[in-house]
Structure 1
Amino acid sequence: MEFKDLEIFQLVADKGTITEAAKELSYVQSNITARIRKLEAEMNTPLFNRHRRGMSLTPEGKKLLTYSKKILLLKEEMKRVVQPNKEPSGKLEIGTIETVIHLPKILSSYIRKYKDVDLSVFTGVTKNLVTEVLNHKLDGAFITESDFDPDLMSHEVFQEELVLISDTRVSTLEELKEEPILCFSEGCGYRARLAEWYKDQNISPKKIMEFGTLETILRSVVMGLGIAFVPKSEVKQLEADGLIQFHQLPEQYSKIKTVFIRRADTYLTPTIEKFIETIEINKQKNSFL
């Protein structure tokens, strides 16, 4: 079995057709077909169901796909480990929740210093970002602190204070309990904290409205659509401009840390090592925590 056979197998599984896989690799279709048949002969079992719409994995094929991904990831890690230590370069894919206020400082410091790194940043909620890191789809991610999977390692970045915000109509905390909650999708750390507070008050939110961006949530609060639980640092100016008002919740709900996570079992390349080092330098310089 060759690594290339596994790479072709994974691509066909992803694309669902020999035609699409051949087009992406610039191979003739017969070459792809022969490689798949060779792999099936070595495994002594069909790996794909063939049908008019294309190809789909058999149960055995799904099992092989899991091991194939692990093998190819280990191959890439092996290549990195045996190479001599060098300056950061290549791709670095980082995930982040939307409200990491210090992220621009960290990214600009890193990019200015390491110009050979192709850095990409993806946004999401904490739960989804954890899954992406665990599945090797992201090199690391900024998330809100929670109970971590043992396969992850975390580095503290900064601490936030969360505040409940509403429009400027005079309201008590009791009255706000009846207002719709405006928040990110399930898996958001801020949403989870607010849910804890509601639970401890023995009440259930009347209505929850999910949004994709912080900007939309804040504009909706200003318009009186509902309330939101967000980092104070993100909304200070809105409060100073008289567009919203703050409502404090007890510290056990309002104090929260942002951390950077990565897989604990992967080789620490110079690219990711220097990224973590940049976080630490900025943390000390700007007193994030």
Structure 2
Amino acid sequence: MDIRQLNAFRVVSQTGSITKAAAILGYSQSAVTSQIKKLEAVVRAPLFERRREGVRLTPGGERFLPYVTRLLRLSDEAMSVLAPKASLVGRMTIGASESITTYRLPDVIRHFHSAHPDVRLTLRTFHEGPAHMAEALARGDIDVAVTHCVDPGPEGAQSKRLATEPLTLVATPEHPLAERDVVTSADLCGTRTLIVQATCVYDVALRTALPADRTVAPFQFGTIEAVKIAARSGQGVALLPKVAVTDQLLAGELVELCWASPVTVSSYALWGENWEESRLLTALDAQLDRVAGEWHRPDRGPHGGIVPRIPSPSTGSRYPGLVSG
């Protein structure tokens, strides 16, 4: 097998189409088909099922894909490994949760790209929770995952805790719980909650902190932005990263409820098996270390600005209730 065959296999697996893969690779369709057939002859197994609407991986192809991804990444890195001071080249796919993609990674990616402009970065956003990212990492779909986990999170050589993520329970100023000096976990059992997914880490954290099952079924919206819109319209309360609702708190559209959760959530980086051999992942790790110290600060907005404390509209003296460590 050679690099051209492996690259054709990877692009076809991503697009599910010989035609689309040919356009991306700049080859004719017959050339891409020939590369796939040659690769299948080398590995002595069919890698794709041909269908009217395109192609899809066979079970053997699915098992083969993570190895191809690693081989191609190592091939790219091999171009610079003998000259450690040379510019990094290659490609890297980062998987991240929605709030990290939106509010935490832009600064990391900006500095990484400035330092290593020849590295091709791809970002994939996951809404379902850290377990799905771990599965994508194991399959080789992504090279690194940056996600939120309920503490204590994953431990070991292939994971790294970055910072505590301040969470806040929010609602409209008119919500009945906004008048409470203290909101208890028991209060929340009978309150309508707004969630992204049942598997998302923020709902896991909320359910972990409650003393009993919720008697009112939560509303599920799929994205943090949709949850924020629903909260602003008075449909319920939501537990979200504070950085995600900074603008709404400043505008008075939402208020922080005075609820102290016993559960904390932190950001973690999860790496593939051979991350220590990868100069690309080492360089990303350095950028994450550089900015992670700022992530845990509840007085910092998404762009690094100071976020003032918002007094309660009802008493003028309430302090925000944060989940932080």
Return the TM-score normalized by structure 2: 0.67
Q: Matches of 1:113 and 1:43 in 2, distance apart?
A: 39
Q: Matches of 2:136 and 2:233 in 1, distance apart?
A: 35
Distance 1:182 1:277, change over 3 A: same
1:189-268 alignment runs, 5 A limit: 189-198=201-210, 201-253=211-263, 255-268=264-277
Contact 2:10–2:69 (Cα < 8 Å) also in 1? no
- Percent same amino acid among aligned pairs? 21
Distance 1:197 1:3, change over 3 A: same
Contact 2:146–2:269 (Cα < 8 Å) also in 1? yes
What SS does the aligned partner of 2:93 have? strand
Distance 1:162 1:116, change over 3 A: same
Q: Matches of 1:238 and 1:43 in 2, distance apart?
A: 56
Gaps of 5+ in 1: none
Specify which of 122, 125, 139 is matched with residue 123 of structure 1: 125
Q: Matches of 1:240 and 1:114 in 2, distance apart?
A: 36
What SS does the aligned partner of 2:99 have? coil
Q: Which deviates more from structure 2 when the two are superposed, residues 230-239 or residues 20-29?
A: 20-29
Match of 1:157 in 2: 162
1:137-156 alignment runs, 5 A limit: 137-146=141-150, 147-148=153-154, 152-154=158-160, 156=161
Distance 1:7 1:267, change over 3 A: same
Match of 1:91 in 2: 91
What SS does the aligned partner of 1:252 have? coil
Gaps of 5+ in 2: 298-324
Shift of 1:72: 5.5
Shift of 1:269: 3.4
Contact 1:181–1:205 (Cα < 8 Å) also in 2? no
Amino acid at match of 1:259: Y
Distance 1:52 1:239, change over 3 A: closer
Amino acid at match of 1:94: I
Match of 2:281 in 1: 272
Q: Matches of 1:236 and 1:285 in 2, distance apart?
A: 15
How many pairs align? 282
Contact 1:153–1:264 (Cα < 8 Å) also in 2? no
What SS does the aligned partner of 1:99 have? helix
**Greater RCO structure (CA 8 Å; 6+ sep):** 1
Match of 2:109 in 1: 107
What SS does the aligned partner of 1:122 have? strand
Amino acid at match of 1:266: W
Distance 1:21 1:143, change over 3 A: closer
Contact 2:16–2:56 (Cα < 8 Å) also in 1? yes
Amino acid at match of 2:83: P
User: What CA RMSD, in Å, does the superposition of the two structures yield over aligned residues?
Assistant: 3.8
Distance 1:278 1:66, change over 3 A: same
Q: Which deviates more from structure 2 when the two are superposed, residues 162-171 or residues 277-286?
A: 277-286
Q: Matches of 1:207 and 1:95 in 2, distance apart?
A: 30
Q: Matches of 2:111 and 2:13 in 1, distance apart?
A: 40
Q: Matches of 1:104 and 1:45 in 2, distance apart?
A: 42
Return the TM-score normalized by structure 1: 0.74
